[in-house]
Structure 1
Amino acid sequence: MQRIAGGTLMPCYLFTYHGHGTWMPDNPRGYVRRKEGILAPDTHMATCYRDNMCSAAICFDHEIQQILINAALEAFEHQPVRGHAVATESTHLHILVSWQTNRTWKIVCRQLRGSLSRKLNQEFERSEWFSKQPSRKRVADRQHFDHLMDVYLPRHSGLKWREGGGVYL
């Protein structure tokens, strides 16, 4: 965690963007519904979700993971955020960022998602890449930040990028 002028902590968040249709209500860990929180697995609701999908579920192969990392790095250059790490899986990606402006987490999350979607649309001409609601977790303190950087994100099986370390497997 970093301090900005006046000694206040700047916002630091872990944003998670799930591939469209990859986290369904029948997931063994349950699912999240807005304003209701985490719900138990529900096979009937999963069937309803799948019946209402306008396009197929999207998984992030190696090529897409590389594009997502490149898009995040480009966003870090053009948006007033500091990128600390990106970790991918076939079903989702995490972006760990902080910023010094008074922008809300919602704005930062939405702008990063927009950057990712635009880059993918340029490459593949598809519009529905992510689930409707990305998740977010505010980083509580330096210990939490270090855990994310040194333990949680490196455990992911896809491509990863780390500030000062580049892209690694």
Structure 2
Amino acid sequence: MSFATRALLCSHGMKSDRPNEPPLPEPLGYLLTWRTHGSWLPGDQRGWVRKAGGNQAPDEQRHRAAARAMNAEEVRLNSQQRIIAEQAIRDHCQFRNWQLFAVNCRSNHVHAVVSADLHPKEVLRQLKAWATRRLNEADSPQDAWWAEKGSIRYLNSEAALEGGIVYVRDAQDRK
């Protein structure tokens, strides 16, 4: 098993028997992931995730319907936009006094490992909102920079936290 695979498995709570639920009393951090608008639609050939149904197989008909329903073009961040989004996340975490362990903004998604005093859905919402504000200030404003939702993984152990950090910091394609 490769280093990147081990880091991914660890970051996704594989050391924990409850990776999608908060531990008692509270997690050490969260691995938050969100995609750019339109970059991974339901039915995608790579597979996709349905909240209540888990991993789903590719479905070309569903993918075409999702593409037709999009209200804006697919977003791919350029290198300058990635820097702006990352800095917005760093600044907001510092302002809120949240511990940002790692952040990595790619062309079509963002990963952040954060410890915060709020529910992770609210942390995710705020990070996306502040990255949007900064991108709109610096670039041509868009209605939608990000997909509607995102992924939240509870990092319930030291090993899971370290795995999440390593995954975000070292296991991403650097193109």
Shorter-chain TM range is 0.7 to 0.9
> Partner of 1:167 in structure 2?
none
In 2, the alpha carbon distance for the partners of 1:152 and 1:15 equals: 10
Q: Given the alignment, which residue of 109, 115, 120 partners 1:92?
A: 109
Query: Structure 1: which amino acid aligns with 2:152?
Result: R
In 2, the alpha carbon distance for the partners of 1:11 and 1:130 equals: 26
> Partner of 1:44 in structure 2?
61
RMSD between superposed Cα atoms in Å: 1.9
Matches within 5 A, 1:9-88: 9-88=26-105
In 2, the alpha carbon distance for the partners of 1:30 and 1:104 equals: 28
> Partner of 1:116 in structure 2?
131
Instruction: Show structure 2 runs of 5+ residues with no match.
Output: 1-24
In 1, the alpha carbon distance for the partners of 2:44 and 2:80 equals: 26
Q: Could you list the per-position Cα deviations for residues 20-78 of structure 1 after superposition, in whole angstroms to 9, with x for gaps in the alignment?
A: 00012343431123333221111111100110111110011111110111111111121
Instruction: Show structure 1 runs of 5+ residues with no match.
Output: 1-7, 160-169
What's the TM-score once normalised by structure 1's chain length? 0.80
Q: Could you list the per-position Cα deviations for residues 93-129 of structure 1 after superposition, in whole angstroms to 9, with x for gaps in the alignment?
A: 1011002x3x211111111111111111111211200
How many residue pairs align between the two structures? 150
Q: Given the alignment, which residue of 129, 137, 141 partners 2:153?
A: 137
In 1, the alpha carbon distance for the partners of 2:75 and 2:167 equals: 27
In 2, the alpha carbon distance for the partners of 1:117 and 1:152 equals: 21
Name whichever of 115-124 and 34-43 sits farther off: 34-43
In 2, the alpha carbon distance for the partners of 1:44 and 1:35 equals: 20
Relative contact order, higher structure (CA 8 A, sep 6+):
2
Q: Which runs of 4+ in 1 moved over 6 A?
A: none
Q: Given the alignment, which residue of 114, 118, 128 partners 2:144?
A: 128
Residue 9 of structure 1: how far off its partner (Å): 4.7
Q: Aligned pair in 2 of structure 1 residues 10, 88: CA closer, same or farther (>3 Å)?
A: same
Q: Could you list the per-position Cα deviations for residues 114-147 of structure 1 after superposition, in whole angstroms to 9, with x for gaps in the alignment?
A: 1111111111211200001111111131111212
Tell me the percent identity: 23
